[in-house]
Amino acid sequence: MKTKKQNHDDELNYLEFELREQYMMFGKKILDYVNNEQIQIDKTLNRIIEEKKCKILEEAYIQCHKCMTLNTNDSNYCKWCGTPLDKQEETENELKENESQSSK
């Protein structure tokens, strides 16, 4: 026959086991939620990157090499981070393209 102390110990052990199980299930649900949200965030970021690439190709923008922000061609500094925009490199690339097209 169990004593009251043993009954309390058994009940306490059972309750602690149940609590651990609940925490583990809750933790698993949180991890699943975070993973699903990260997938959605990654998809959105990829869409933003693709849209920015299209915008660069379609319009006359300079992309900041530091933060990837699109700036108008007449900008000297990035509107987001203030980094000087290197227009000389783009001008040289345009000249090379023009030279290759004119030699054809």
pLDDT digits (tens, 9 = 90+) for 69-93: 989 888 999 999 999 998 655 544 5
- The model's pTM is 0.46
Q: Is 84 exposed, middle or buried (0-12, 13-18, 19+ CB in 10 A)?
A: exposed
| C-alpha torsion angle, residues 44, 47, 49, 55 (rounded to 10) | -140
With a cut of 50, say whether residue 18 has pLDDT above it: yes
pLDDT greater at residue 12 or residue 102: 12
What is d(CA 100, CA 104) in angstroms, rounded to the nearest whole number?
Answer: 7
Residues 80, 72: Cα–Cα separation, whole Å? 12
Residue matched to tokens 């849209």: 51
Q: Give per-residue pLDDT as tens, 28-74.
A: 999 999 999 999 999 999 999 999 888 777 777 888 989 989 898 88
